[in-house]
Amino acid sequence: MTAAYKGDYQELVDEISELLGAPATLESRTFELIAFGAYDSEGDLDPSALDPVRTRSILTRRSTAAVRRWFEGFGITRATGPVRIPPTPEAGVYRGRICLPVRHRGVVLGYVWLLDDDPGPSEQQLAAAMLVTGRIGALLADEAQHGADLT
């Protein structure tokens, strides 16, 4: 990823975090971290916000192949809209996730991940966030076309 795009990705991830009121992360289609939103909490940090899968993804800037296969098992590579993934503590996922597939011209280029809460974002909020993922997809496609490393 080039510096020319890095700020754009961060701004768009922050926009999604603000729209949905939840910290978001952006990963490439190979699950390499591109940007992540700050966890905005007035009180103590909720330990479930940093479960093993999320912590590893942020600290190592990528997810393991096993984590990737597990999430792909929920159909995220084929999805055109938000996919809800339930909490699965035995897989290291203590809180549910919402995956927003990032596509450009029908091709998945990445994923925006959010922690899912009850009641979670409304359909209108998710629709607004999906519009932002379209802008992210256009940036990823433009960067790929110009030969930049997206990792």
What angle in degrees, to the nearest 10, is found between the helix axes of 3-20 and 123-145?
Answer: 170
User: Which residues have C-beta within 8 Å of that of residue 80, sequence separation ≥ 6?
Assistant: 101, 103
Residue 68: the pLDDT is 84
Residue 88: the pLDDT is 83
Contact 32, 150 (CB under 8 A): yes
Neighbours of 45 (CB within 10 A): 9
Percentages (nearest 5) of helix, strand, coil residues in the chain: 45, 20, 35
Residue 36: the pLDDT is 85
Residue 21: the pLDDT is 87
Select from 55, 68, 46, 2 the least CA-distant residue to 25: 55
Series of mean pLDDT values for 10-residue runs along the chain (151 residues): 65 94 90 80 59 65 79 94 90 86 96 88 96 96 76 48
Domains of the chain: 3-145 (3.30.450.40)
Neighbours of 131 (CB within 10 A): 11
